[in-house]
Amino acid sequence: MNFQQLRIIREAVRRDFNLTEVANALYTSQSGVSKHIKDLEDELGIELFVRRGKRLTGLTDPGKEMVSVVERMLLDALNIKRLAEQFSNRDVGQLTIVTTHTQARYALPEVVAKFKAAFPRVHLALHQGSPKEIVAMLRSGEADIGVATEALDSEADLVSFPWYEWHHAVIVPRDHPLAGAGSATLEQLADYPLITYHEGFTGRSRIDRAFADAGLTPDIVMSALDADVIKTYVELGLGVGIVASMAWHPKKDEGLALLDGKDIFPANTTRIAVRRGHYLRGFAYRFIEFCAADLTEAVVRAALEPGKDELALD
């Protein structure tokens, strides 16, 4: 048994058992992948994959059991490397953050600037993705820290910490009938075409729930992944916008009026998450602390200990 065989098992699951994609991901040949799989099955004396002809279509029962072990072994191997790097080069390395557009654009710039000033020799890689993609990158070890409003608090293999609360706000063109009102009701908003976030992004589920609880059906004519797109189409007069309140800037958005949404939409909580068992280098803990001063290394380490319940951190 060797690490290449374990990587092949993991990649086969990730690539939906397409051996061509597995080979490309691991920079090897498809025939080499097939041989590694056969050698491992021969060594173990069991079949790990369900086959249809020469194609792999899924995992056998022992294969399903083995995948979680493989994930842990590969994660621990990566942790050993990170551990060595931590003690040989404390302030040199790479930190990978994965987050949504809203957090990358409005919440993280100040934190990133502070981190880069403190750790100039650490390469900070900032990836944008959907909440599902964020969870996947944390699980695979591709990312060290995830930041999002959705998904992070419902995964058993992740530990998440509340960072800050925010509300949605309503934006309209300056000449709109609602401009200058200061606030709006759900009933008023239901009378206009609405432009807001795509489902699964930036608290969209809470917007939908607010209308549903009020017995209203909103006319959402357009959805987008980020607030800049929403603001553009609101300025064109195509609808009333619902965005994260921090996305509106009085100087940059002079053509738009902001209406408070605190009384009609529930609060949202942006969370910081790491995977259980993922070794964090010292500068990763510092990044989290730059986000929230109370999330010290001691607090995060304690939450990552086996048996700890992250919900107690709320």
Q: What residues form DSSP beta bridges with 98? A: 127, 146
Span 295-314, average pLDDT: 72
> Residue 307 above 70 pLDDT?
no
Level-2 CATH architecture, domain 91-165+269-313 = 3-Layer(aba) Sandwich (3.40)
Predicted confidence at residue 91, as pLDDT, reads: 78
Q: For residue range 35-53, list pLDDT tens digits in order.
A: 889 888 888 888 999 988 8
Q: Give yes or no for a contact between 259 and 171, defined as CB atoms under 8 angstroms apart.
A: yes
pTM: 0.73
Rounded CA gap, 139 and 110, in Å?
A: 27
Q: For residue range 147-174, list pLDDT tens digits in order.
A: 999 889 888 889 999 999 999 999 999 9
Rounded CA gap, 269 and 164, in Å?
A: 6
**pLDDT category of residue 96 using cuts at 50, 70 and 90:** very high
**pLDDT category of residue 311 using cuts at 50, 70 and 90:** very low
Looking only at the bridges linking them, the beta strands covering 168-173 and 158-166 are unpaired
Q: For residue range 5-34, list pLDDT tens digits in order.
A: 888 888 888 888 988 888 988 888 988 888
Predicted confidence at residue 146, as pLDDT, reads: 97
**pLDDT category of residue 70 using cuts at 50, 70 and 90:** confident
Give the list of residues 6+ apart from residue 294 with CB closer than 8 angstroms, or none.
none
Q: Give yes or no for a contact between 12 and 23, defined as CB atoms under 8 angstroms apart.
A: no
Predicted confidence at residue 175, as pLDDT, reads: 93
Average pLDDT along the chain: 89
Level-2 CATH architecture, domain 3-81 = Orthogonal Bundle (1.10)
Same fold, 3-81 and 91-165+269-313: no
Span 90-116, average pLDDT: 93
Predicted confidence at residue 219, as pLDDT, reads: 96
CATH class label, 168-266: alpha beta
Cβ burial of 57 (10 Å; 0-12, 13-18, 19+) is: exposed
Q: For residue range 214-223, list pLDDT tens digits in order.
A: 999 999 999 9
Domain boundaries, the chain: 3-81, 91-165+269-313, 168-266
CA-only gyration radius of the chain, Å: 23
Q: For residue range 185-211, list pLDDT tens digits in order.
A: 999 999 999 999 999 888 999 999 999
3-class SS of residue 27? coil
